[in-house]
Amino acid sequence: MLNTARINLRLFWDGAVLSYIALFRWLRPSTYIASKVFGPLVYMLFFVLLGRYATGSSDASFFVIGNAIQMCAWSGIYGITMSITGDHWDGTLPYVFGAPANRLIVFLGRAFIHVIDGYLGVVLGFFWGITLLGLDLSQTSLPALALVVLITTISTSGLGMLLGCLSLMTRNVMFVNNTVFFGLLLFAGANVDVATFPGWMQSISYALPLTRGIQAGRAIVAGADLSQVSGLLSTEFLFGLIYIALGYVLFRWFEKQAKRRGTLEAV
Amino acid sequence: MNAIQVDHLRRVFTTNVGRFRRESKEVVAVDDVSFAVGDGELFGLLGPNGAGKTTTVKMLTTLLIPTSGSARVGGFDVEHESQKISSTIGFIFGGERGLYWRLSGIDNLRYFASLYHVEPAVAAKRIPYLLDLVGLKDRGNEKVEGYSRGMKQRLHIARALIHDPQILFLDEPTIGLDPVGARELRLVIRNLQAEKKTILLTTHYMFEADMLCQRIAVIDKGNIVALDTPEELKKLVLDLSVIEVEVFGVQDDLLEKIRKQKFVDNVSVENRDQRQILTVQTPRGSEAIPDLMAIFDGRRVGKVTSREPTLEDAYVRLVGGDA
């Protein structure tokens, strides 16, 4: 029992670290750091300044919080999808599926570093918001905000894991990723209040991760305590778990179907 | 108990054709294949492209579910006990893909060691040993994307051995390698044979099968057409001699004409740059050369030689067509 746990922990860690390295090792360290630090800055500036101009408001906190939390979708959607689908493109999938490794551990391992990466991305978004865009956190419980960001990053990564499995079945990985990422940008309410959406759009918003996380983040920054957003947070977390579970079921279904139909190497 | 036992294995693929009015089409990749491989045996599966070699290996390595028939590997059923089989086998498919190119050779082996539940302490000793075995000792820290094709294929062998499996499936391991790379890889396979591993090797290089395999099954159109030792298979063509004719731009009609001659048993053509080597199997030996030359009727012909038949000639007789 203990030995199995140790083996799986090792598999989880190696899968997490090595799949992440495999994804980004083509970048020089300086390019990697620049993409992680300055990319989010440009992104934040664009949406926050656009939002401020469009609304005529001098208070940018609505846009700063929304877009800072949305930052986790970069790693959660793009990173995780590419990590999972990378096996398809590298031709390593038959060797992964031919091994006795626990599939759930393999599956979760691919997402782990991206969750951390996404979390740091949000932290950086808030950093730019505080230093350059005037975000005020004086009323904010920082541990509560940290928890909001963690749960939202996990739930958004859950959607990424589901998409990663979908991407095993399509050549159009980037098309799917782009559609979902920009869909989130619209529907999760990073830049427009979800309450102003027509009913059918709100239905979509609340079926997605991130929406409730952004709302909870705004409330916490405004001074709410954790108990006031516990409903939003627990539902956000539940949605994350549902997406992860769906992704895992799809991952296993894909393996079974590929072995049945002989499509394991079809790209 | 045999290490590998295959009974009437069959695999049919269903493909859809047409964009709007999609129609299903069935392709029989493996029709009816049965054979057994003993413990520690190096068994060859020989056949032309599309004969069903890779499909057979995929079913035996649990990557493909058979349509019908059964197979046991290491005593376990390929369809219902795939998890148990995966711990006891190693496999490689020819070509460069199947490795994490942006990771080093060592990191690739480290990850596959985790996938196969190899203890870290064991992996730490085994990885340098395997890199040495496949001649990559000094290149293990380099990213795989900088490896030559031969190096990648040797790393594949190391990957397949990371958990020290007793049974190995090597599907065309030397395909696309230069002669030196292929020779090095064959040496590795020889060493594995010396370690008493059970190996199923697929190839369409006759000399490779002749050199390495204790027994060979020739597969064609999804069926085993012969199964014996290389020596016994060669006896299939003891009644024949082989005449090789160097020709330039031989036409199909001429080939057909040669095939129809009574003294010709089989003809195959191999392209070599601007010329072709026509290999004619005949029971009349070198006596057939004048009659053969008469068919060329003044066309440009290069060197003409007569020789004893080889395993390749036996193979050509069994599967026919171009080798």
pLDDT tens for chain B, 323 residues long, are 799 999 999 999 988 777 777 788 889 999 999 999 999 999 999 988 889 999 999 999 999 999 999 999 999 999 999 989 999 999 999 788 899 998 999 999 999 999 999 998 999 999 999 999 888 999 999 999 999 988 998 999 999 999 999 999 999 988 877 888 788 889 889 988 998 999 999 988 888 899 999 999 999 999 999 999 998 998 888 788 889 898 887 788 888 888 888 888 888 888 887 788 888 888 887 888 888 888 887 788 888 888 888 888 888 888 875 44
Structure tokens at B299: 């066309």
Whole-number percent of chain A with pLDDT over 70? 97
Supply angle C-alpha A76, A81, A86, rounded to 5.
140
Residue B100: list chain A partners with CB under 8 A.
18, 22, 90, 92
User: pLDDT of A8-18, one tens digit each?
Assistant: 888 899 889 98
Inspect the interface and report whether the beta carbons of A97 and B117 lie closer than 8 Å.
no
pLDDT at position A266, please? 61
Inspect the interface and report whether the beta carbons of A264 and B64 lie closer than 8 Å.
yes
Structure tokens at B216: 């060979």
Residue A28 to residue B10: CA distance in whole angstroms: 50
User: pLDDT of B165-181, one tens digit each?
Assistant: 999 999 998 887 788 87
Q: Which of B14, B58, B100 sits opposite A90 (nearest CB)?
A: B100
pLDDT at position A175, please? 87
Q: Write the CB contacts of A175 (distance below 8 Å, at least 6 apart in sequence).
A: none
CA distances from A20 to A125, B124, B141, B276, B277 (A): 21, 22, 18, 50, 51
pLDDT at position B297, please? 78
Inspect the interface and report whether the beta carbons of A18 and B65 lie closer than 8 Å.
no
Q: For residue A183, give the nearest of A217, A208, A212 by alpha carbon.
A: A208
Cβ–Cβ contact A91 with B under 8 A: yes
Q: Which of A14, A26, A262 sits opposite B102 (nearest CB)?
A: A26
Residue B95: list chain A partners with CB under 8 A.
91
Inspect the interface and report whether the beta carbons of A264 and B14 lie closer than 8 Å.
no
pLDDT at position B323, please? 42
Cβ–Cβ contact A26 with B under 8 A: yes
Q: Which of A91, A95, A259 sits opposite B65 (nearest CB)?
A: A259
Residue A139 to residue B132: CA distance in whole angstroms: 62
Cβ–Cβ contact A101 with B under 8 A: yes
Residue A101: list chain B partners with CB under 8 A.
114-117
- DSSP helix/strand/coil, B322: coil
Residue A153 to residue A77: CA distance in whole angstroms: 10
pLDDT at position B296, please? 81
Q: Closest Cα of chain B to A25: distance in Å? A: 6
CA dihedral A206, A212, A214, A217 (to 10 degrees): 170
User: pLDDT of A92-135, one tens digit each?
Assistant: 989 999 999 999 999 899 899 999 999 999 999 999 999 999 99
Q: Which of A11, A23, A264 sits opposite B115 (nearest CB)?
A: A11
Q: Closest Cα of chain A to B47: distance in Å? A: 20
Q: A95, A102, A110: which to substitute to probe chain B, counting the most B Cβ within 10 Å?
A: A95
Q: Closest Cα of chain B to A42: distance in Å? A: 29
Residue B131 to residue B251: CA distance in whole angstroms: 49
pLDDT band at A25 (very low <50, low <70, confident <90, very high): low
Q: B93, B115, B163: which to substitute to probe chain A, counting the most A Cβ within 10 Å?
A: B115
Residue B184 to residue B158: CA distance in whole angstroms: 13
pLDDT at position B321, please? 55
Burial grade of B19 (CB within 10 A; 0-12, 13-18, 19 or more)? exposed
Q: Which residues pair with B267 in a beta bridge?
A: B280
Residue B4 to residue A122: CA distance in whole angstroms: 54
Nearest Cα residue in chain B from A97:
B63
pLDDT at position A27, please? 66
Q: Which of B64, B95, B102 sits opposite A22 (nearest CB)?
A: B102
Residue B83: list chain A partners with CB under 8 A.
100
pLDDT at position B43, please? 97
- DSSP helix/strand/coil, B25: strand
This prediction has a pTM of 0.83
Chain B contacts in chain A segment 128-187 (CB below 8 A): none
Say how many CB pairs under 8 Å bridge A and B.
84
For the cut 90, the answer to whether the pLDDT of residue A40 exceeds it is: no
Whole-number percent of chain A with pLDDT over 90? 63
Q: Closest Cα of chain A to B36: distance in Å? A: 22
pLDDT at position B22, please? 74
Nearest Cα residue in chain A from B115:
A101
**Contact by Cβ (8 Å): B202, B46:** yes
Is the ipTM reported for this complex over the cut 0.90?
Answer: no
| Order of all β-strands in the sheet with B275-282 | B266-272, B275-282, B241-247, B301-307
Cβ–Cβ contact A94 with B under 8 A: yes
Nearest Cα residue in chain B from A98:
B86
pLDDT at position A136, please? 93
- DSSP helix/strand/coil, B150: helix
The total of other beta-carbon atoms located within 10 Å of residue A100's CB is 15
Cβ–Cβ contact A45 with B under 8 A: no
Inspect the interface and report whether the beta carbons of A261 and B112 lie closer than 8 Å.
no
Is the torsion defined by CA of A219, A223, A226, A227 positive or negative?
negative
Q: For residue A124, give the nearest of A231, A220, A38 by alpha carbon.
A: A38
